[in-house]
Amino acid sequence: MRKNMQIEIGIVLYPHAQMATILGLTDLFALADKIAIRHGSGAEPMLRLTHWQWDGSEKSLARVYDSLPSETGTPAVLILPPSLEEPISAQAAAPYRDWLIARHKAGVTLASVCAGAFLLAETGLLSGRTITTHWHYAEKFNARFPDIRLDVDHLIIDADDIVTAGGIMAWTDLGLRLVDRYLGAAVMIDTARTLLVDPPGRQQRYYSAFAPRLCHGDDAVLAVQHWLEETGIKDNSLADMAQRAGMGERTFLRRFRKATGMTTTDYIQRLRVGRAREMLQATSAPIETIAWNVGYSDPAAFRKVFVRVVGLTPGDYRRRFNTGPQANSLS
């Protein structure tokens, strides 16, 4: 935790940036600052909150909101919030690129939430790194930035100088992570308790649905994918899949992995887990029955695969996401 100095946290207001995130983060940091003062860090604010917007006449970005306008200095962090529209285009991102690169070179940590990762990626600073964004954007992001490794299972990936957060509401996780960094764990925990939100530690895979790659252009593999989706979660031998695709097994395995980005085994496991999640959310069926219905005769094997894919046990997943009247009593 940095003491005896004010830490500036800036938020970039690029076109179509989500105002709910901008204002929510501003309030979260203001609340954390008050809690830090109550914890005895001093009577003066420790956090300076600023909003930055493009100033066309100056060909740069300028502060358009400043919680401590009499202060000088530069941000410790700049946050790129989500967008309410499609992710920012390369053309729209161009005016921000050099400015963000220069800030990063000067030691500023750059952070993004959800689709804000597209603006951050346009700087070139993510090349060769592993980052996260909303799972819904995974295919689009991979196609646009193939030199960046994407891990959408994680809600936060913190590389110190670059911090990325996944879904739209992951701004709470990012905000609390930065409060922990600059004001300490005790202030972060009290801030989370006051806002009634979970401290950092969630994973995006708790919430993401399996969205297989379908726009790969391999019609034979696509036909097998549709067949698996419709009928094949229980009976789906490699021989049957290869025959349906009209090719030998080795050729099919190679083509399938190239097209979908995963092996047939992993693909089928994710399909089965996706069906199981739907049943866990909507029914009170025993977990053993659900395991059988999605193709697992051994409940222990089902549980192992479910934990690997989702990050929670089937019972924990049901307790968290089943909304029926019986939810609290389910195991």
In angstroms, rounded to a whole number, what is the distance separating the alpha carbons of residues 279 and 319?
Answer: 13
Q: Are residues 154 and 300 in the same domain?
A: no
pLDDT value of position 57:
64
CATH assignment of the domain containing 56: 3.40.50.880
pLDDT value of position 329:
41
Sign of CA dihedral 191, 193, 197, 200: positive
Provide mean pLDDT across the span 97-122. Answer: 96
Q: Are 81 and 18 in contact (CB under 8 A)?
A: yes
Q: Are residues 156 and 237 in the same domain?
A: no
Q: Are residues 99 and 141 in the same domain?
A: yes
Query: Between residues 4 and 229, which one has the greater pLDDT?
Result: 229
pLDDT value of position 321:
74
- Nearest by Cα to 322 from 266, 283, 287, 268: 283
pLDDT tens digits along 189-245: 889 889 988 766 665 666 666 777 777 888 999 889 888 887 656 667 899 899 989
pLDDT value of position 213:
78
- Domain annotation covers residue 210: no
Has residue 140 got a pLDDT over 50?
A: yes
Q: Are 217 and 54 in contact (CB under 8 A)?
A: no
Q: Are residues 157 and 12 in the same domain?
A: yes
pLDDT value of position 324:
59
- Nearest by Cα to 327 from 292, 283, 289: 283
- Domain annotation covers residue 304: yes
- Domain annotation covers residue 330: no
In angstroms, rounded to a whole number, what is the distance separating the alpha carbons of residues 315 and 318?
Answer: 5
Has residue 151 got a pLDDT over 80?
A: yes
Q: Are residues 167 and 259 in the same domain?
A: no
Query: Between residues 10 and 199, which one has the greater pLDDT?
Result: 10
In angstroms, rounded to a whole number, what is the distance separating the alpha carbons of residues 9 and 23?
Answer: 13
Q: Are 70 and 50 in contact (CB under 8 A)?
A: no
Q: Are residues 140 and 40 in the same domain?
A: yes
Has residue 262 got a pLDDT over 90?
A: no
Range of the domain at 43: 7-195
Strand partners, 54: 61
Query: Between residues 17 and 297, which one has the greater pLDDT?
Result: 17
Has residue 96 got a pLDDT over 90?
A: yes
In angstroms, rounded to a whole number, what is the distance separating the alpha carbons of residues 291 and 302?
Answer: 6
Q: Are residues 226 and 178 in the same domain?
A: no
Q: Are residues 20 and 124 in the same domain?
A: yes
- What total of structural domains would you count in the chain? 2
pLDDT value of position 316:
86
Q: Are residues 129 and 225 in the same domain?
A: no
pLDDT value of position 3:
45
pLDDT value of position 164:
97
Mean pLDDT over the full length of the chain: 87
Q: Are residues 175 and 277 in the same domain?
A: no
pLDDT value of position 185:
80
- Domain annotation covers residue 201: no
CA distances in angstroms from 272 to 209, 256, 289, listed in the order given: 12, 18, 13
CATH assignment of the domain containing 250: 1.10.10.60
Q: Are residues 42 and 189 in the same domain?
A: yes
Q: Are residues 115 and 164 in the same domain?
A: yes
DSSP for 37-77, written as a single string: IIIII-SS-SEEEEEEEEETTTTEEEEEEESSTT-----SE
pTM beyond 0.85: the answer is: no
Burial of 293 (C-beta count, 10 Å sphere; 0-12/13-18/19+): middle
> Picking from 156-160, 218-222, 321-325, which range would have the lowest pLDDT averaged per residue?
321-325
pLDDT value of position 252:
94
- Domain annotation covers residue 331: no
- Nearest by Cα to 276 from 240, 239, 259, 301: 301
- Cα pseudo-dihedral 34, 35, 39, 40, rounded to 10: -10
Has residue 7 got a pLDDT over 90?
A: yes
Of 195, 229, 254, which residue sits at a domain end?
195
